[in-house]
Amino acid sequence: MILVTSAAGGVGRPLVRQLIANGRTVRAFVKNEAQARRSRTDGATEIVIGDLRRPGDLENALRGTRQIYHAAPTQLVDEMPVAERLVVAAQAERLDQVVFHSVIHPDIAELPHHRQKLRVEAILQDAGLPVTVLRPSHYMQNVLDFWDFFGAGLLPYPTSPESRMGVVDVEDIAAAAAKVLVNPGAHLGKTYDLSTVELTRHDMARIWSRVLGHPMVAVRIPPQALENPLAAVGPFGSAVAKSVLSTRLRSLPDVVRGLRAAPNARGFRSWSSEAQDTYVQMMTYYDVHGLPAGNLDDLPNLLGRSPIDYEQFARRTAAHTRSR
């Protein structure tokens, strides 16, 4: 039995599906009944509803398992209490493997979210657990938080369009994780970077222009606008106005939907103020410095094939959206 935490998340769902397809039994750890329904759809063998932050929930979910894929949600700022309880529970269960979903370049000093991952890596390894660490880059899917604007020819994001970002498809992260979990002995004690390519938002916009068949423009939203939407009015407002006028109002419905949805992408408004501040700090760093890709050889070596490139991801996303 494999326990997958954050099983209803962007990586968790395809991972559960791939493990089931490989004949593994999977216990999905989710936070509510709505997520439980999604995990049942994905084929999870068992479902556990709980809260990683609540003592006892993770420990109970681990009972009777042999492996765990542990990924903490973005809004969990302090991962250490969870990691400390995971160590004790994993030792008690004598797990065969702990796969930790970390982050690319966890040693970036200016990013608390990254440093937390590095601390968790250390505590798991220092405990002598059979650990495999996966360090994924920025998800290709993150840009889809602003999907409603794509119809208006706008690709907004709270980072500079010139900043270079290492990116990876979550489907490939899940596929790599499944490989590691299905054949644990070959991966114990290993750390893998999961990166596909480095792109700027301008590069992404050019790809989306080809895929969607209309011009796309990358637009910077000030990272502070995540907490204060009024901060986006000036820099983003002119791009919206230009789009609406150039399309003779045809893009107006897309813009309206985007303006309604964007301020609460990923349920951001429900996060704690500390989690919101940490996320804004992360975007502010990316805005200036970007986020380089890691070792580009690790992912294809794990997958046994070339990773999904950005245009393949964009075409798959566009085809899926049109088919709905």
pLDDT surpassing 90 at residue 278: no
100, β-bridge pairs: 70, 133
pLDDT surpassing 90 at residue 99: yes
CA distance linking residue 236 with residue 232, whole number of Å: 5
**pLDDT band with cut points at 50, 70 and 90 for residue 311:** very high
pLDDT at 274: 83
Domain ranges of the chain: 2-136, 142-166+198-291+310-324
Per-residue CA distances from 142 to 151, 156, 168 (Å): 17, 11, 10
Q: Given the structure tokens 């423009």, which residue do they identify? A: 217
The DSSP 8-state label assigned to residue 306 in this structure reads P
pLDDT surpassing 90 at residue 44: yes
The DSSP 8-state label assigned to residue 76 in this structure reads -
pLDDT surpassing 70 at residue 265: no
The per-residue pLDDT for range 141-186, each reduced to its tens digit, is 999 988 988 988 999 999 999 999 999 999 999 999 999 999 999 9
pLDDT at 14: 97
**200 exposed, middle or buried (CB, 10 Å; 0-12, 13-18, 19+)?**
middle
Q: Which two tokens stand for residue 246?
A: 């150039």
The per-residue pLDDT for range 205-226, each reduced to its tens digit, is 999 999 999 999 999 988 877 7
- Greatest Cα-to-Cα distance within the chain, rounded to the nearest angstrom: 65
Dihedral sign for Cα atoms in the order 254, 256, 259, 265: negative
Pairing of strands 197-199, 165-168: antiparallel
CA distance linking residue 12 with residue 170, whole number of Å: 9
pLDDT at 247: 64
The per-residue pLDDT for range 16-34, each reduced to its tens digit, is 999 999 999 999 999 999 9
Q: Given the structure tokens 């990691």, which residue do they identify? A: 83
Mean pLDDT of 229-246: 64
Q: CB-hemisphere CA count at 13 Å for 242?
A: 12
**pLDDT band with cut points at 50, 70 and 90 for residue 255:** low
Q: Given the structure tokens 């979990």, which residue do they identify? A: 181
Q: At what angle do helices 80-93 and 112-126 cross, to 10 degrees?
A: 20
Provide φ and ψ at 52, rounded to 5°.
-55, -30
* Of residues 265 and 199, more confidently modeled: 199
Mean pLDDT of 296-322: 95
pLDDT surpassing 70 at residue 250: no
Q: How far is CA 291 from the centre of its chain?
A: 14
Average pLDDT, the chain: 90
Which CATH number does 2-136 carry?
3.40.50.720
- Edge to edge, the sheet with strand 2-4 lists 46-49, 26-30, 2-4, 67-70, 97-101, 131-136, 191-194
